[in-house]
C-alpha cells in the first residue's frame, strides 16, 4: 500500500540533551521526516546545516537544546523551516553581522554555511524565563524546493568519496569507543570536507 505524506503545514519537535550524539540523532530524525514528506532532495543540505546548528548548541552552551522541523506552503511552493533552540541568549555574529564582517569571524565559521545555502535565516532571543531561568535563543533557516533546484550542482557526489568514507568511519569508531569530545571534532571534520569538496565552488576559502 502506498504511503501518502501529509501536505504542509506540519511540525515535528525533538528534545535533545547536551550529548555529543545529539547532532547525529538530529540528522537521522531530519532525514526520516523529509523522506516521509516527499522532500528527500533537501536532505543532504538540510542535514549539513542542522549539524552546524546542533553542534553549535552543544559546544557553546551547558544545557539541552531542541530541534523543530516545519513544512510550510507559500507562494514559492513547499519550504522546510528548521529551528534550533538552546539555553544561551547570545546570537552568533554570523547570524547578525553583514556577510563581509561575518566572514572575518574567528569562531563559528561553519554557521556561515547557513547564510550561503539557506533560502532565508534568522534568530530570536527570549527574555528570562520564570524563576530567573535563561530564555535562550532560536536560530532558524528555510530551504525551498525552487532554490535547491537552482543551486549549484555539487562538484562531485559524496557517495563513493574515499575521504568522506574514511572520515565518517573514524567518527563512528570514536563514538563507539565512547570518546564523545573527539567524536564531535571528527564530525566537524566530516562536514568541513563535505562542504569544501562537494558543495563549495573551487577556490572558496573557509
pLDDT (0 to 100) of residue 100: 44
Q: Please state whether the peptide bond connecting residue 9 to the residue before it is cis, i.e. omega within 30 degrees of 0.
A: yes
pLDDT (0 to 100) of residue 74: 64
Q: Judge whether residue 80 has pLDDT over 50.
A: yes
List the single range of 45-54, 81-90, 97-106, 134-143 with lowest mean pLDDT.
97-106
Q: Judge whether residue 159 has pLDDT over 60.
A: no
The DSSP code for 37 is: T
pTM: 0.64
Q: Which residues pair with 10 in a beta bridge?
A: 71
d(CA 73, CA 31): 19
Q: Which CATH number fits domain 10-151: 3.40.50.2000, 3.30.1180.10, 3.30.565.10, 3.50.50.60?
A: 3.30.565.10
Look at residues 187, 184, 177 and name the one whose alpha carbon lies nearest to residue 58.
184
**How big is the chain, counted in residues?**
206
List the single range of 23-37, 73-87, 181-195 with lowest mean pLDDT.
181-195
CA dihedral 106, 115, 51, 47 (to 10 degrees): -150
pLDDT (0 to 100) of residue 151: 41
CB 102, CB 57: distance < 8 Å: no
Convert the pLDDT of each residue in 166-181 to its tens digit: 777 787 788 777 777 7
The more confident residue out of 156 and 72 is 72
pLDDT (0 to 100) of residue 33: 96
List the single range of 44-48, 111-115, 127-131, 171-175 with lowest mean pLDDT.
127-131
Look at residues 63, 83, 61 and name the one whose alpha carbon lies nearest to residue 72.
83
pLDDT (0 to 100) of residue 196: 64
List the single range of 79-83, 110-114, 166-170, 174-178 with lowest mean pLDDT.
110-114
Convert the pLDDT of each residue in 12-58 to its tens digit: 999 999 999 999 999 999 999 999 998 888 998 899 899 989 998 99
Amino acid at each position: 500500500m502506498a504511503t501518502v505524506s501529509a501536505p504542509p503545514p506540519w511540525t515535528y519537535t525533538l528534545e535533545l540533551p547536551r550529548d555529543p550524539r545529539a547532532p547525529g540523532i538530529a540528522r537521522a530524525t531530519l532525514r526520516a521526516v523529509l523522506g516521509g514528506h516527499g522532500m528527500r532532495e533537501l536532505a543532504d543540505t538540510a542535514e549539513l546545516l542542522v549539524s552546524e546548528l546542533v553542534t553549535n548548541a552543544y559546544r557553546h552552551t551547558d544545557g539541552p537544546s531542541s530541534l523543530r522541523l516545519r513544512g510550510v506552503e507559500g507562494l514559492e511552493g513547499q519550504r522546510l523551516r528548521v529551528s534550533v533552540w538552546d539555553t544561551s541568549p547570545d546570537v552568533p555574529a554570523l547570524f547578525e553581522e553583514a556577510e563581509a564582517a561575518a566572514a572575518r569571524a574567528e569562531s563559528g565559521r561553519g554557521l556561515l554555511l547557513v547564510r550561503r545555502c539557506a533560502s532565508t535565516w534568522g534568530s530570536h532571543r527570549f527574555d528570562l524565563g520564570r524563576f530567573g531561568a535563561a530564555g535562550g535563543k532560536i536560530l532558524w533557516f528555510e530551504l525551498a524546493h525552487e532554490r535547491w533546484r537552482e543551486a549549484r550542482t555539487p562538484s562531485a557526489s559524496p557517495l563513493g568519496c574515499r575521504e568522506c568514507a574514511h572520515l565518517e568511519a573514524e567518527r563512528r569508531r570514536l563514538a563507539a569507543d565512547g570518546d564523545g569530545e573527539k567524536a564531535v571534532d571528527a564530525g566537524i571534520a566530516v562536514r568541513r570536507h563535505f562542504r569544501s569538496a562537494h558543495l563549495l565552488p573551487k577556490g572558496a576559502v573557509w
